[in-house]
Amino acid sequence: MAVSKKAGKKVAPAAKKSGGQGKVAKADWKEGFKKKQVGVSDMTLLTTISNESINDNLQKRWTNAEIYTYIGSVLISVNPFRDLGIYTDETLQKYRGKNRLEVPPHVFSIAESAYYNMNAYHENQCVIISGESGAGKTEAAKRIMQYIAEVSGGQDSSIQEIKDMVLATNPLLESFGCAKTLRNNNSSRHGKYLEIMFNTQGEPVGAQITNYLLEKGRVVGQIENERDFHIFYQFTKGATDEQREMFGLQGPEAYAYTSASNCLEVSDIDDVKDYSDTIKAMGIIGLSQEEQTEIFRMLAIILWLGNVQFEELDDGNSKIADPDVTDFVAYLMGVDTSQVQKVLTSKVVETQRGGRRGSIYDVPLNPSQASSGRNALAKAIYNNLFEWIVSRINVSMKPRFASAQVIGILDIFGFEIFEDNSFEQLCINYVNEKLQQIFIELTLKTEQEEYVREQIKWTPIKYFNNKIVCDLIEERRPPGIFAALNDACATAHADPTAADNSFIQRTSMLSSNAHFEARGTQFLVKHYAGDVMYNVAGMTDKNKDSLIKDLLDLIGSSDNQFLQGLFPDRPDPNSKKRPPTAGDRIKASAGALVDNLMKAQPSYIRTIKPNQNRSSSEYDSKAILHQIKYLGLQENIRVRRAGFAYRNTFEKMVERFYLLSPKTSYAGDYTWHGDTKSGCEQILKDCGIAKEEWQMGVTKAFIKNPETLFALETMRDQYWHNMARRIQRAFRNYMRYKHECARRIQRFWKNNKEGLTYAQTRDYGHQILAGKKERRRFSLLSYRRFMGDYLDVNSKSPLGSELASACGIGSEHVTYSGRIELLVSKLGRSSKMSPRFIVVTNKAFHILITTSTDGHTRTVLERKIPLVSIRSIGMSNLRDDFMTLHGPIAEEGDPIFSCRFKTELVTHLLQLTQASITVLISPIMDYAKKRDKKAQVKFIKDERVLKDGVYKSHTVTVGSGEPPSSLSRPAAKRKAGIVRPITQGKLLRAGGPSDKSKAAAKPKPAPRSLPGASTPAAAPPAAIRSTPAPAPPAAIRSTPAPAAAPTTALRAPPPPPRAVAPPPPPPTKPAVPLYRAKFAFEGQDGEMSLAKDDLVELVEKDDNGWWLVKRNGAEGWAPNNYLELVPVAAAPPPPPPPPPRAPAAPITPSVSGGVRASPKPVVPTAVSANANAKPVSVFPGMAPSNGSATPWKKPTPSPTATTPASSRPGSAKPAPPPVAAKPKPPPPVAAKPGAVGGKPPIPTAARPPVAKSPVGAAKPAGGLGSIGQMDLSAALAKRAQRMADD
């Protein structure tokens, strides 16, 4: 079987994290509070293994409505005979994407496992459902199809159509293939194997159904209190009036085939509703109305054939009791009436002499023979109709696209033992024997082979292999039961009784088989599920399974093409080849089924029937013990355990139980550095489990007793209870920290939210005029905000109240108010500018004038222009403030005025009208001076004019302004204030800022990735990737940045990226990195006070710009821009260098050719750094500094010139207080591209002492700690010193 998937939630079935790096799923505390299950959900964990203990566990769970139980990956299902509400969409979603160990046992879990394995491992899957009749096989198959249709995705209409068709096959085939029996109200009387085909995305693209052995004998007869196939009762009860008229249809009590067993109604079956579901399913499958009509015509023919009764004449021959019935049958079949009567009461016999045709006789039939012929015709029509429906379904569900994988669902008849067992039971039980053989081959045998493969010491478990029973039935040599039946049919084909006697004689040859006993006219077969006594009478005739020639000729004479199409293969009377028998067909079908199943990865569902009365409260222990025995559940558990009750891969063991060892976990994170096998061993040792209780295989860990697993699970649950106090304490600290942060954020937002709104409005205004109109310099100031209501109308100031009263706006909101200069034309005089007020509301543009009368001023409304009537706004392309509103035609014409805040006014007008007003910008402004008089105002640029526009005689002269493409000035940088770090509620650690005298706690181990996952090389910093620095040499440019490695770098640039090579062995004793305080720092509560040049050890880095450092055993927080890495003292003298080079060795010049480097041997792969190369920043977002100011300071120079250069821009913490000027940096060093200009990385381990390599020799690929290398940063520093000396 395919390896089960990793436990944990999946966002997408095939999704993987970037870089291929998986992490151990963090444990969930809620697991400790899950509902406790009754019994054990996996019976491999039973303490005592016996049929009785299995039965007790199943009974406990069944009584508690837990009907599903596992044996490893095998699902055991006990029929509840009631609706438990466990197949809802909500329940289905709980199993979606989950491993079977994460959720309780369920049929949805088997479906999820099959679907996941198909997508993950690209292997065909099959679900084999077995059990006796009434155990719930058909229901399980329906739920698997429900789950797959829900989770398989696909938005295409054709994919959804396939899903609908697959689900529609359930009601359709149940109607035609299921019936009510004594044991089951919906018993499958046929077998089917549904194959759902999927594309590479896991979407269903087609399906196919294979039918096995329909019990057609049920059409013509049933035992007391059983029923015919459901469709007959649905049809006779739910048919429409048109169908009743067409087919002469009556109720089921009117037909012999449906009423003979005296069972017309079933309590939990609604035949009328099921009939409508069947009609709907036919439509979904794609059956046309004509095809549906012909299907129901065939059913009517069968029903009326059953009502054909025969009377015995004086000579013993038969005659039709009611010719009207045969007349109606002939009408439905489309044949001659007399021919129907003749075929049903006589048969044609042809004699042969020496291979030549002899005489032909019409032999009359007695009533018994006539009834057999009538029944044979009815059975043949129904059997062929059923096969036609299945083939028609397959045509409709034919794959639309190419299929990649298949999921097969096998729903087949269960093992049957009746009082009278005949050929049908022999075939059914034979197929179940073949399925049991597959189960043994792929489960019990494979299970034991795993222990050999994993090299586990174990004791083999004995189990019954039923291959001997399969050979007894199907073998040809020596002949089996099917072969003996065929021989009997061939030698005594004329007389059924003689054929039966011949078969009895041949069964005596089978007595040598221990599983067969001949008992006169009966024989006994010892099946895996129990001993079954078969009755020989009629068995050979059922095996022949062929219609007589007269009946076939009758069908051939029909004018109904559909009926003729049901019998496409007519036997050739001149052929000497024996036609295949029913036994041959079922053996071939079973062989093909086994071949298909063996090609797929199987999942098993073993169903159990709790009682024979279909009761939801009765648990028949005796019957269930029998099923447990013949299903081989005890052997399955023993083989599954094989001395070890639980096994899983090392990775999943570590993931499940890593919390239990302090060496593999820290605060819920996985921290183990070794491989998974050693991690498993460490966990089991730290839990105190004896060595004899577990074994390590090649890929899996095995635990011997279930009590050990229970103990591990109990310790895992207890882990969360031990962590509860820590979580509570951490949460309270977090809430205090959160509240302080919230107060700061609220304070900042209250101070800035109004300004942000005004600034957004201003930005929109600049977008309106961008590139179209010259700007005034003061319009581009950074602190300019579009306040809108400059006359304070909304706040009801004295002037504002007067203006609001004059406009009559009441409580209407004012968007803009201000002063303008309106161009007023006088009769016979030149126009001149006159002051006005304007008030803009959501509805209108108001122009107000203040007049003086008798020494009293009064402001009145001069004009009101509705905003909806303003078509456009006219403006010039120069820097003047003139504008006009093109509104409705009026006596006053269009207002033309000068507004200092023209940009803001236009912005508000556009916002209020949803930008429906057009802004017209040109050197000439057109406007309506009066109702029918047009005028123009020209705008001329004159540098002599110092004002923003002088109007005279329809001409405005104005000086030059800022270019139209000018942008707003950036916002002025606020003066940096001293912001105290947030210390209240900080998640403090032991020995941290709250208790400086306390001994330092052990540093928290870093969480690690899942062992065994591929670890990609570290990506280079973003700044190096995006900086337009000089292109590095190919050898350096093509390699990723190495991971942190031991180094003793000075404050020189870090080494460049190198080619990846196998990492060196870890050093035995890592060095502790030290940092020096560049400036004095006065710490508050929780912080570390520093004096200049104090040395501290780094404990933890935080992304917000504060680091946790340790000094003299006390820990505290300090700003990282106050610290610099202390160069490690020179290592002890290395071994003597190699002999000096010959004097003739060439001296390699630098790239620039100006500075000489130390003599170095020329190596073809060596790369020489450019001594004059421009330094490259390693801070995110920095470009090459080239000796100038840092890029982020260029737009807005820092107000404090003495800020240390190492201050991190954009940090959450403030810049340090002013200090003395920082020391002059060392002389420029020839930098490797992409590695100069910033602080070196923090070393995590000491570099192993190595001998100095020859100066200038090529560095082998690898990290800084590679053996035989000299530290690159130290080499660069020495080289810079030599350059300075030269």
Provide CB contacts within 8 A for 1148, sequence distance 6+.
1157, 1159, 1160, 1162, 1168, 1256
pLDDT at 1177: 32
* 836: enclosing H helix or E strand: strand 832-841
Considering 119, 133, 318, 384, which one is annotated as catalytic?
133
In angstroms, the CA 435 to CA 626 distance is 18
Other CB atoms within 10 A of residue 987 CB: 12
User: 2-49 pLDDT, tens per residue?
Assistant: 444 434 444 444 444 444 444 566 666 555 555 566 889 999 889 899
Tell me if the pTM is above 0.85: no
Paired strand residues for 846: 839, 864
pLDDT at 150: 92
Residue 1069 or residue 1233, greater confidence: 1069
In angstroms, the CA 320 to CA 313 distance is 10
In angstroms, the CA 457 to CA 464 distance is 23
Return the axis-axis angle of helices 157-177 and 137-151, rounded to nearest 10°.
170
Considering 77, 119, 184, 345, which one is annotated as catalytic?
184
Maximum average pLDDT range among 334-348, 449-463, 543-557 = 334-348
In angstroms, the CA 530 to CA 535 distance is 16
Other CB atoms within 10 A of residue 1094 CB: 18
Q: Are 454 and 699 in contact (CB under 8 A)?
A: yes
Cα separations (Å) of 820 from 95, 324, 781, 787, 952? 72, 108, 21, 16, 18
Q: Are 851 and 857 in contact (CB under 8 A)?
A: yes
Average pLDDT on 1241-1262 reads 37
Cα dihedral value 258, 259, 261, 264, nearest 10: 80
User: 467-480 pLDDT, tens per residue?
Assistant: 889 999 999 888 89
In angstroms, the CA 530 to CA 375 distance is 32
Answer yes or no: 414 catalytic.
yes
In angstroms, the CA 1274 to CA 1276 distance is 5
Answer yes or no: 73 catalytic.
no
pLDDT band at 126, cuts 50/70/90? very high
In angstroms, the CA 222 to CA 418 distance is 13
pLDDT at 849: 93
Answer yes or no: 678 catalytic.
no
Average pLDDT on 852-860 reads 86
Exposed/middle/buried for residue 1219 (C-beta within 10 Å: 0-12, 13-18, 19+): middle
Q: Are 1252 and 1137 in contact (CB under 8 A)?
A: yes
Exposed/middle/buried for residue 395 (C-beta within 10 Å: 0-12, 13-18, 19+): exposed
Average model confidence (pLDDT) across the chain = 77
Provide CB contacts within 8 A for 575, sequence distance 6+.
none
Considering 117, 130, 175, 187, which one is annotated as catalytic?
187
Please say if the pLDDT value at position 1185 is more than 60.
no
Paired strand residues for 1087: 1117
Q: Are 1266 and 1260 in contact (CB under 8 A)?
A: yes
Distance of CA 752 to the CA centre of its chain: 43
pLDDT band at 538, cuts 50/70/90? confident
Six token digits for residue 184:
């089951």
Average pLDDT on 921-940 reads 88
Q: Are 1099 and 1092 in contact (CB under 8 A)?
A: no
User: 890-905 pLDDT, tens per residue?
Assistant: 888 889 999 989 888 9
Considering 77, 138, 876, 1273, which one is annotated as catalytic?
138
Please say if the pLDDT value at position 1224 is more than 60.
no
In angstroms, the CA 486 to CA 488 distance is 5
DSSP state of 442: I
In angstroms, the CA 386 to CA 215 distance is 11
In angstroms, the CA 439 to CA 605 distance is 11
Answer yes or no: 1048 catalytic.
no
Six token digits for residue 300:
């009517």
CA atoms within a 13 Å half-sphere pointing along the CA-CB vector of 1053: 25
pLDDT at 187: 86
Other CB atoms within 10 A of residue 305 CB: 26
Other CB atoms within 10 A of residue 1121 CB: 23
pLDDT at 1010: 54
In angstroms, the CA 1152 to CA 1163 distance is 19
Cα separations (Å) of 523 from 473, 513, 535, 980, 1036? 12, 12, 7, 97, 85
Least confident of 29-43, 714-728, 736-750, 902-916: 29-43
In angstroms, the CA 231 to CA 101 distance is 42
Answer yes or no: 188 catalytic.
yes
In angstroms, the CA 606 to CA 76 distance is 5
Answer yes or no: 133 catalytic.
yes
Cβ contacts of 869-873, under 8 Å, gap ≥ 24: 870/845, 870/909, 870/913, 870/917, 871/917, 871/918, 872/917, 872/918, 872/919, 872/920, 873/906, 873/909, 873/917, 873/918, 873/919, 873/920
pLDDT band at 1058, cuts 50/70/90? very low
User: 218-258 pLDDT, tens per residue?
Assistant: 999 888 899 999 999 999 999 999 999 999 999 999 999 99
In angstroms, the CA 1247 to CA 1067 distance is 7
DSSP string, 1106-1149: EEEEEETTEEEEEEGGGEEEPPPPPPSPPSPPPPPPPTTPPPPB
Provide CB contacts within 8 A for 1203, sequence distance 6+.
1215, 1216, 1218
Distance of CA 447 to the CA centre of its chain: 31
Considering 132, 416, 450, 802, which one is annotated as catalytic?
416
- Select from 49, 141, 86 the least CA-distant residue to 607: 141
User: Strand 405-411 and strand 125-130: pairing?
Assistant: parallel
In this structure, the chain runs to a length of: 1286
pLDDT band at 273, cuts 50/70/90? very high
pLDDT at 1235: 33
What are the b/e assignments for 464-501, b being 16+ CB within 10 Å? eebeebbebbbeeeebbbbbbbbbbbeebeeebeebbb
- Select from 289, 187, 276 the least CA-distant residue to 237: 276
Please say if the pLDDT value at position 705 is more than 90.
no
- Residue type (1 letter), 499: A
Q: In 305-434, at which residue ranges do the beta strands (DSSP E only) sit?
A: 310-312, 318-320, 346-353, 356-364, 405-411
pLDDT at 891: 81
pLDDT band at 542, cuts 50/70/90? confident
Q: Are 838 and 822 in contact (CB under 8 A)?
A: no
pLDDT at 30: 57
Please say if the pLDDT value at position 129 is more than 80.
yes
- Residue type (1 letter), 668: G
Q: Tally DSSP H helices, then E strands, for the chain.
A: 32, 38
Least confident of 163-177, 254-268, 1206-1220: 1206-1220
- Cis peptide bond prior to 204, omega within 30° of 0: no
DSSP string, 1006-1024: PP-BPTTS--PPPPPPHHH
The pLDDT > 90 percentage for the chain reads 31
Q: Is 125 helix (H, G, I), strand (E, B) or coil?
A: strand
pLDDT band at 105, cuts 50/70/90? very high
Residue appearing with tokens 């599920």: 529
pLDDT band at 613, cuts 50/70/90? confident
pLDDT at 785: 75
In angstroms, the CA 1219 to CA 1110 distance is 23
Other CB atoms within 10 A of residue 122 CB: 11
Q: Which conformational region is residue 1256 in: left (phi greater than 0), alpha (psi within -120 to 50 degrees), or beta?
A: left
- Select from 890, 966, 903, 898 the least CA-distant residue to 932: 890
Considering 22, 39, 72, 134, which one is annotated as catalytic?
134
Please say if the pLDDT value at position 828 is more than 70.
no
Distance of CA 165 to the CA centre of its chain: 24
Please say if the pLDDT value at position 1155 is more than 50.
no
Considering 152, 188, 326, 671, which one is annotated as catalytic?
188
Q: Is 1002 helix (H, G, I), strand (E, B) or coil?
A: coil
